[in-house]
């Protein structure tokens, strides 16, 4: 939301009075959300609104406020006569950088460590579970064409989507055109890089010309946006092949979309979690070579855990959201979901960077070295989180042992703060309610499948009562939190944490720090578990290199859900 200085309004009211009455101004505009407001604001209305804001005014103050509140309602009405596209951000932009920040310096160290001699399997369908790095070598060497690889994945998508419900729209015609072009260019000596001819899927909140962009929600299931999202354009420039638009929980929450519930390939009896539900499910089942997801508060971490994939949530301001559905302008992030951290680095190389459209982006380089030494890296871990009893604890403790066996000295660390972190969730709720203001006021929120207390319709309505002052205060606390957490993590190259340990997931999504989440075993019901690695702002290179070293010593990321392997 955009809040401008009230210099003009000070002509009528003193600044202290404005600070008192602004929360109520925001609270009372809900009265006109679904109908025209004709009645005058009564003193009793103000008394009731005070309870919602946790305030109490004197009788003479309430009388003084009446006409001003009535004027505010007229202003709300005048704004609602004009529609605002979801893509228009507020005039406030979150900056995660602390004062004096210097980007990491890895210049000259780029080495993607691509394999040079990969053999074709006897059964071609086994390629569905090869890494991007391996597929890239096979395509470049001519062992397989992009057209054949694309056809393989398309057939698997058509076959297994019957169970997984992970596809909204196949982009088959576009995919074959892009694959044919990739093969033609390669024959002409044109090679675009490691993603040349590699088929992928993308979360259906990114716009793709000529295809619906449904946002997973009934009110938008026929929506067509006549543009390509920046990420789609960047991947096309890298030579990647778009297979289809994958499911997301409606408006980027959970795994329930307008037609069904997306399933985990490890256990189709349960959902794949969300909101990057289809991106993780399709990736884990070998239906795409990689996928693109988004995270605002766990939407890469959660489905990657449920489906046993490797996910990268980059630094806030690293990858363009242009052409993507906005949920929270100050928290949304775009990242790859892959088979390995190595693959995530290859995809990230193609999608990061400024585009002249998304004003939150910052222009810092990415120099990845697949063979970087971890000997001199300083690694911390949130010791207290590992001591709590939780699902997957044994696997997480075993991960720490593996790291120690690799020669890593794990330094215990904790993050103590007086900031009311949980309260800062109102930032997401307020911004999401603004992003879907028209949906609430039109009543079309009734069309969403999920209608319980924790679903978007109720959250959007409830958020209308968040005072503007409290939203600003929450963001001030957020700035303090960002500085405090950065002061902790800057002493380390990586911090290891249980994926849901304490409140680190909320903290790091608020502060904008990058995270890589990887599978590290299974629970008693044979569902995947995960562990997370946190990095410094704009230092995905170090983070991914460290996680690659861990995955080189383990095989969890290479395991395949049995019902979706060759011949099934």
Residues sharing a CB contact under 8 Å with residue 23, sequence separation 6 or more, in sequence order: 53, 55, 467, 468, 469, 470
- Please report which confidence band the pLDDT of residue 34 belongs to, taking 50, 70 and 90 as the band edges: very low
- DSSP annotation of 332 reads -
- Please report which confidence band the pLDDT of residue 39 belongs to, taking 50, 70 and 90 as the band edges: low
Q: Cα separation of 154 and 158, whole Å? A: 6
Determine how many CB atoms are found less than 10 A away from the CB of residue 553.
Answer: 10
* 237 pLDDT above the threshold of 90: yes
Q: How far is CA 254 from CA 227, 276, 345, 458, 555, in A?
A: 26, 8, 26, 15, 28
Instruction: Give the per-residue pLDDT at 441.
Output: 94
Sheet strands (E) in 174-238: 199-203
Contact 509, 388 (CB under 8 A): no
* 22 pLDDT above the threshold of 90: no
Instruction: Give the per-residue pLDDT at 428.
Output: 97
b/e per residue 404-422 (b: at least 16 CB within 10 A): eeeebebeebebeeeeebe
Tell me whether residue 75 is exposed, middle or buried, using C-beta atoms within 10 angstroms of its C-beta: 0 to 12, 13 to 18, 19 or more: exposed
Tell me whether residue 153 is exposed, middle or buried, using C-beta atoms within 10 angstroms of its C-beta: 0 to 12, 13 to 18, 19 or more: buried
* 41 pLDDT above the threshold of 70: yes
Contact 171, 211 (CB under 8 A): yes
Assign a CATH topology to domain 124-418+477-559: Amidase signature (AS) enzymes (3.90.1300)
Min mean pLDDT across 69-78, 166-175, 231-240, 329-338 is at 69-78
* 26 pLDDT above the threshold of 60: no
* 157 pLDDT above the threshold of 60: yes
Min mean pLDDT across 39-43, 274-278, 496-500 is at 39-43
Q: Cα separation of 273 and 298, whole Å? A: 10
* 289 pLDDT above the threshold of 60: yes
* 260 pLDDT above the threshold of 60: yes
Contact 386, 393 (CB under 8 A): yes
* 226 pLDDT above the threshold of 90: yes
- Please report which confidence band the pLDDT of residue 12 belongs to, taking 50, 70 and 90 as the band edges: very low
| Segment 393-414, tens digit of pLDDT | 999 999 999 999 999 999 999 9
Q: Cα separation of 313 and 304, whole Å? A: 11
3-state secondary structure of 566: coil
Instruction: Give the per-residue pLDDT at 21.
Output: 42
Instruction: Give the per-residue pLDDT at 6.
Output: 33
Determine how many CB atoms are found less than 10 A away from the CB of residue 378.
Answer: 12
| Segment 353-389, tens digit of pLDDT | 999 999 999 999 999 999 999 999 999 999 999 999 9
Instruction: Give the per-residue pLDDT at 1.
Output: 35
Segment 66-87 shows an average pLDDT of 91
* 219 pLDDT above the threshold of 70: yes
Best CA proximity match to 519, nearest among 325, 255, 308: 308
Q: Count H helices and E strands in the chain, helices first.
A: 18, 13
Question: Residue 495 pairs with which residues in a beta bridge?
Answer: 380, 534
Better-scored residue on pLDDT, 28 or 142: 142
Mean pLDDT over each residue of the chain, to the nearest integer: 92
Q: Cα separation of 152 and 373, whole Å? A: 37
* 284 pLDDT above the threshold of 50: yes
Contact 274, 303 (CB under 8 A): yes
| Segment 82-113, tens digit of pLDDT | 999 999 999 899 999 999 998 888 777 789 99
| N-terminal to C-terminal alpha carbon distance within the chain | 49
Min mean pLDDT across 53-67, 235-249, 266-280, 517-531 is at 53-67
- DSSP annotation of 444 reads G
Q: Cα separation of 231 and 249, whole Å? A: 20
Percent of the chain at pLDDT > 90 equals 88
Q: In this structure, are strands 379-382 and 494-498 parallel, antiparallel, or unpaired?
A: parallel
Q: Cα separation of 269 and 265, whole Å? A: 9
Q: How far is CA 158 from CA 102, 178, 544, in A?
A: 47, 19, 32
Segment 261-285 shows an average pLDDT of 98
């Amino acid at each position: 939301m955009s809040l401008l200085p009230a210099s003009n309004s000070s002509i009528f009211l003193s600044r202290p009075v404005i600070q008192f009455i602004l929360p109520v101004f925001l609270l009372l505009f809900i009265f006109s959300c679904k109908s025209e407001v004709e009645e005058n604001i009564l003193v009793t209305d103000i008394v009731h609104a005070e309870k919602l804001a946790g305030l109490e005014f004197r009788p003479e103050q309430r009388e003084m406020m009446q006409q001003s509140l009535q004027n505010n309602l007229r202003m709300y009405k005048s704004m609602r006569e004009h529609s605002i596209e979801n893509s228009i951000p507020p005039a406030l932009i979150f900056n995660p950088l602390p004062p004096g920040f210097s980007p990491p310096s890895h210049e000259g160290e780029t080495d993607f460590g691509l394999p040079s001699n990969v053999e074709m399997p006897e059964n071609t369908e086994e390629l569905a579970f090869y890494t991007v790095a391996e597929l890239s070598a096979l395509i470049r060497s001519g062992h397989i064409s992009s057209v054949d690889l694309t056809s393989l994945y398309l057939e698997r998508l058509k076959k297994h989507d019957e169970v997984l419900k992970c596809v909204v729209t196949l982009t088959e015609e576009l995919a074959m055109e892009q694959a044919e072009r990739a093969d033609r260019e390669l024959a002409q000596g044109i090679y675009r890089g490691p993603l040349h001819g590699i088929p992928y899927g993308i979360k259906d909140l990114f716009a793709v010309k000529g295809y619906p962009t449904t946002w997973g929600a009934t009110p938008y299931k026929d929506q067509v946006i006549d543009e390509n999202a920046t990420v789609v354009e960047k991947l096309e420039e890298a030579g990647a092949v778009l297979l289809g638009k994958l499911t997301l929980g409606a408006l980027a929450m959970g795994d329930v979309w307008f037609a069904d519930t997306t399933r985990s390939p490890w256990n189709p009896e349960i959902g794949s979690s969300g909101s990057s539900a289809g991106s993780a499910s399709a990736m884990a089942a070998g239906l795409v070579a990689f996928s693109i997801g988004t995270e605002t508060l766990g939407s890469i971490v959660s489905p990657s855990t449920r489906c046993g994939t490797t996910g990268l949530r980059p630094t806030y301001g690293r990858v363009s959201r242009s052409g993507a559905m906005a949920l929270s302008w100050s928290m949304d992030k775009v990242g790859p979901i892959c088979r390995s951290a190595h693959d995530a680095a290859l995809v990230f190389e193609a999608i990061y960077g400024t585009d002249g459209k998304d004003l939150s982006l910052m222009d810092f380089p990415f120099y990845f070295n697949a063979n970087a030494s971890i000997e001199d890296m300083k690694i911390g871990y949130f010791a207290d989180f590992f001591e709590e009893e939780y699902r997957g604890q044994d696997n997480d403790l075993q991960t720490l042992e593996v790291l120690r066996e690799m020669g890593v000295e794990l330094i215990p660390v904790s993050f103590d703060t007086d900031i009311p972190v949980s309260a800062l969730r109102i930032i997401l709720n307020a911004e999401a309610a603004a992003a879907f203001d028209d949906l609430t006021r039109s009543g079309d929120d009734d069309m969403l499948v999920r209608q319980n207390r924790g679903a978007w319709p109720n959250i959007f309505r409830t958020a209308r009562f968040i005072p503007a002052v409290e939203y600003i205060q929450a963001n001030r606390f957020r700035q303090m939190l960002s500085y405090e957490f950065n002061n902790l993590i800057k002493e380390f190259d990586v911090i290891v944490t249980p994926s849901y340990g304490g409140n680190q997931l909320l903290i790091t999504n608020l502060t904008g720090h990058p995270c890589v989440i990887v599978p590290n075993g299974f629970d008693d019901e044979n569902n995947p578990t995960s562990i997370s690695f946190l990095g410094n702002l704009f230092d995905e290179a170090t983070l991914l290199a460290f996680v690659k070293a861990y995955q080189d010593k383990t095989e969890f990321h290479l395991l395949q859900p049995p019902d979706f392997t060759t011949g099934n």
